[in-house]
Structure 1
Amino acid sequence: MPALLLAACQLPVKPVATQDDASPPAAVAPAAEAGPAEPTPRADAVARGAPPALAAPEPPPPPDPIDTGAELFDHLAENFQSPVCIKGEANRAWRKRYAGHPASFARHLEEVLPLMAYVATEVDRRGLPAEFALIPIVESWYRPAAIGPGGPAGMWQMIASTARNHGIRIQSGYDGRLSPVASTDAALDYLVDLSARFDGDWRATAMAYNAGEYRILRAFRSNGHRNASGERRLPQGLSRITYDYVAKLRALACLIAKPERHDLELPRDARFVPLARLPLPPGTSSLDQAALKLLVDARELRRLNPAYRGGRLPAGAPREVLVPANPAMLLAARDLPAAPPAGDAPARSHRVRSGDTLSGIARKYGVGLRQLYRLNDMDARSVLQVGQEVQVDP
């Protein structure tokens, strides 16, 4: 049965503090020191009839997927960075803007619960702050087929060059920016890299996602510090759009974590079918054919996966989609034949030449930057050397 990536573990609720935007990140408690190792049973003890050592316990089963509004909102609130609700005019203005029509805000949230739960799970799996699960609200209100002015597309609103630089395929009949699977992988991998570059400061990371990392780094150098705040407009010299980007994320987090402060009633009682990422069945040439084999509604499958123009599956396009993980689909997917093996093509590598960049190498070979980082023990700060061999494939 194809692997399904569903929901993340639930964590204990953290207190929600209220202060300004300039507070330093909370310190991380040091890990407890390991105690002395257990002695290995001696052979003569076993010979005297001592009981054999117990086998290692079975790993716990995967957690149940998030499938209610209450589970999703509680999960997000538990994983927002403290303080969630802060003082300040910009934050107050954006809270008022989003919650100005409480019924409409709650209805919009209910409509996007399945996609939001999928992204929240992926955010948690990468160890990123839960605020990043709110970026698709700011960008597109979680509309996979959204096309913005100037060319950005998808629920993460990526421009084509940025998408290609992060391994998203764009070809005739297929635009991976409109794939919730491909675009979420690329966006979150990019946020992981940015977070490493900005020392885990989620505010600076969000600014860099909006304005570009080099613009934020130049502003830091110009200001002589690395303080990032949407409320206090730091670092100075950025556009209002970039400061508002952080303010919007903080406002949304406060509304979700403390709805009672704003006379909001979130759709906590709403139930929904979780989404799973799944390889398309072998031998299908359209989403409608895949829907028949997976026993899901064809219109819903097309709505969730608009990357395939007209619902057709062009040659060379990725064949991984989001599917409602209802019981009938799970049974149907289990009984489908496995996809044919990809073959024994040798792993590719690239010898660095003058002017090469990791993003350019990723684009040339159609892979994600994160894959290059992982295979070559690199990160966003790594510097390439002429003649260096970069592994491209696992």
Structure 2
Amino acid sequence: MNCLRLFILLIVAVLAGCATNNTQNPYASAKKTYTAAETSRTIDLTHPPRDMWDRIRRGFAIPNLHSELTERWTDYYASHPESVLLMSQRAGKYLYYIVDELDRRGLPTELALLPFVESAYNPTAYSRAHASGLWQFIPSTGKHYNLEQDWWRDQRRDPIASTNAALDYLSYLYDFQGDWYLALASYNWGEGSVKRAMEKNTKAGQAADYASLNMPDETRNYVPKLQAIKNIIANPKKFGITLPEVSNTPYFTTVQKRDFDIDIEVAAKLAEMSVEEFKSLNASFNRPIILAEHKPTLLLPTNRVDIFNANLQAYQGRLSSWDTYRSKKGESYAAIAKQHGISLGRLRAVNGLSKKQSRAVAQTLLVPAKGARGSIQLASLEVPDADTAPTRGKTDGKKDVVVLQRKANVRTHTVKGGDTLFSLAKRYNTSVNELRKLNNLKNDKLAKGKRLRVPGTSIRG
């Protein structure tokens, strides 16, 4: 009996020692895969993900970080629900692509939350250290990962290019460090800085794990911030947070631009989007014109692609109101502006010139296109009830006005009392989903008098 009791006490002592070691150093098991159950919310894995948030929770695989800083940042984000909502709404445009890429590479889905910390999911975010984009690449690291940065565009702000570069970099850092906390610290502080801090600790006979390193405050708070966001996404109700609906479907689609220059404003109008929304997907373009010679790929919401293509086919106006001008060294900007019928302020704004610059170097400038009398405007993006060929509207002598009409088999329907998406789908030989996509509807509610686009020309009685 005494031997048995001694054996039991020995086992308890060993288990207690393991638990104590894990509490003191939560970073020790860097390569252990943690399940979603550890995030304090039960997830039903017998059904497909309900939405993107559910899908992200299922892929959590980085050890949870329990620390005072984590608690502090969790409380901070929970006390600012409006900021979390804004960041989450922005994230909705990019999450499907990012998580799809993470799944393809076998990486933890926590990394999809990193832009919350880096840029608040703002693709145009720019830091004092000259870091830019969702993933906040500095110029040198961006170039190392083949992100093109020139006068015309900056791929650090391209959602696809920057995401691929960021995941390449994070994968490299994890392979280099063998620990996600050290990899994330390296992403923020630089792999060289982290390596030197580890070597310094090792020489001093101290532990060289993440928790033991002497790091700048920004890096010290970096992983706790990510863990705080993870805590909220894992169980938003616990913190009184309501996340926006983000469907587990692609938000955007790539569209290969054809052989023509096009103004960003015109492209947005052809896609029937606001310029702000268009730029949120195509933030890499630095100028108001997208050049054909760059053979760029446009990103459009999936429900805007058919509309963009139909409008582009029917459109007969100028696609760009800008030309390029190669200036001579020492040429006056004021003289260039006067020569091309544009104000000096407008010339500077379009070309990113400061007020301190008065004379040009040998450079390419954007100037108004010859024969263009101001920006082209679409007088109407409404679809006529009858199928008609595209026609040009009247010119008022001040601006070229183009009336856009579709010649594709599309028409409009004015909602009447009693109309439902189901009844209209049946009437126009289509589906409710198609009507939602064509009209960018978020729900099934229809307002009387609203004009809806309906596909097809045949109508059931």
Q: TM-score, normalised by structure 2?
A: 0.52
Deviation at 1:27, TM superposition (A): 4.5
Deviation at 1:163, TM superposition (A): 0.9
Q: In 1, are the aligned partners of 2:118 and 2:136 still within 8 Å (CA)?
A: yes
1:164 equivalent in alignment to 2:143: yes
Deviation track 1:120-164 (CA, whole Å, cap 9, x = no partner) reads: 222222222112111211111111111211311112111111111
**Compared CA separation, residues 288 and 106, structure 1 to 2 (3 A):** closer
SS in 2 for 1:171: coil
Deviation track 1:323-374 (CA, whole Å, cap 9, x = no partner) reads: 21127539949x99xxxxxxxxxxxxxxxxxxxxxxxxxxxxxxxxxxxxxx
Q: In 2, are the aligned partners of 1:180 and 1:322 still within 8 Å (CA)?
A: no
Alignment of 1:305-344 (within 5 A): 305-314=282-291, 317=294, 319-326=296-303, 328-329=305-306, 332=309
> Aligned letter for 1:22?
Y
SS in 2 for 1:145: coil
Selected match of 1:260 from 237, 242, 247: 237
Residue 383 of structure 1: aligned partner: none
1:280 equivalent in alignment to 2:256: yes
**Compared CA separation, residues 331 and 303, structure 1 to 2 (3 A):** closer
Deviation at 1:91, TM superposition (A): 0.3
**Compared CA separation, residues 158 and 83, structure 1 to 2 (3 A):** closer
1:220 equivalent in alignment to 2:198: yes
For the residues of structure 2 that align with 1:95 and 1:249, how far apart are their CA atoms?
9
Selected match of 1:134 from 106, 113, 131: 113
Residue 203 of structure 1: aligned partner: 181
For the residues of structure 1 that align with 2:67 and 2:191, how far apart are their CA atoms?
26
Selected match of 1:71 from 29, 47, 51: 51
For the residues of structure 2 that align with 1:326 and 1:81, how far apart are their CA atoms?
33
Deviation at 1:111, TM superposition (A): 3.5
Residue 227 of structure 2: aligned partner: 250
For the residues of structure 2 that align with 1:254 and 1:191, how far apart are their CA atoms?
21
Selected match of 2:27 from 12, 18, 22: 22
Alignment of 1:1-394 (within 5 A): 21-25=26-30, 27=32, 70-81=50-61, 83-84=63-64, 86-199=65-178, 201-224=179-202, 228-229=209-210, 232=211, 234=212, 236-267=213-244, 269=245, 274-286=250-262, 287-288=264-265, 290=267, 295=271, 297=273, 299=275, 300-314=277-291, 317=294, 319-326=296-303, 328-329=305-306, 332=309
**Compared CA separation, residues 288 and 126, structure 1 to 2 (3 A):** farther
Find runs of 4+ consecutive structure 1 residues off by over 6 angstroms: none
The runs of 5 or more residues in structure 2 that have no matched partner are 1-21, 35-47, 314-461
> Aligned letter for 1:252?
I
For the residues of structure 2 that align with 1:80 and 1:318, how far apart are their CA atoms?
37
Of structures 1 and 2, the larger Rg is shown by 2
Deviation at 1:181, TM superposition (A): 1.8
Deviation at 1:303, TM superposition (A): 2.8
Q: In 1, are the aligned partners of 2:52 and 2:247 still within 8 Å (CA)?
A: no
SS in 1 for 2:254: strand
SS in 2 for 1:260: helix
Aligned length: 272
Q: In 2, are the aligned partners of 1:174 and 1:317 still within 8 Å (CA)?
A: no
SS in 1 for 2:94: helix
> Aligned letter for 1:278?
T
Deviation track 1:6-58 (CA, whole Å, cap 9, x = no partner) reads: xxxxxxxxxxxx977335146579xxxxxxxxxxxxxxxxxxxxxxxxxxxxx
For the residues of structure 1 that align with 2:97 and 2:255, how far apart are their CA atoms?
16
For the residues of structure 2 that align with 1:22 and 1:159, how far apart are their CA atoms?
28
SS in 1 for 2:93: helix
Deviation at 1:248, TM superposition (A): 0.8
Deviation at 1:215, TM superposition (A): 1.4
Deviation track 1:287-325 (CA, whole Å, cap 9, x = no partner) reads: 4555577x4526232232121123422466461233211
SS in 2 for 1:170: coil
For the residues of structure 2 that align with 1:211 and 1:24, how far apart are their CA atoms?
22
> Aligned letter for 1:75?
R
**Compared CA separation, residues 184 and 26, structure 1 to 2 (3 A):** closer
**Compared CA separation, residues 188 and 83, structure 1 to 2 (3 A):** closer
The runs of 5 or more residues in structure 1 that have no matched partner are 1-17, 30-65, 337-394
> Aligned letter for 2:198?
F
Deviation at 1:106, TM superposition (A): 2.7
**Compared CA separation, residues 77 and 227, structure 1 to 2 (3 A):** farther
SS in 1 for 2:130: coil
For the residues of structure 1 that align with 2:68 and 2:33, how far apart are their CA atoms?
30
SS in 2 for 1:309: coil
SS in 2 for 1:134: helix
For the residues of structure 1 that align with 2:166 and 2:151, how far apart are their CA atoms?
22
SS in 2 for 1:310: coil
> Aligned letter for 2:87?
H
State the superposition RMSD in angstroms. Answer: 3.2
Q: TM-score, normalised by structure 1?
A: 0.61
Q: In 1, are the aligned partners of 2:52 and 2:246 still within 8 Å (CA)?
A: no
Q: In 2, are the aligned partners of 1:140 and 1:156 still within 8 Å (CA)?
A: yes
Q: In 1, are the aligned partners of 2:70 and 2:227 still within 8 Å (CA)?
A: yes
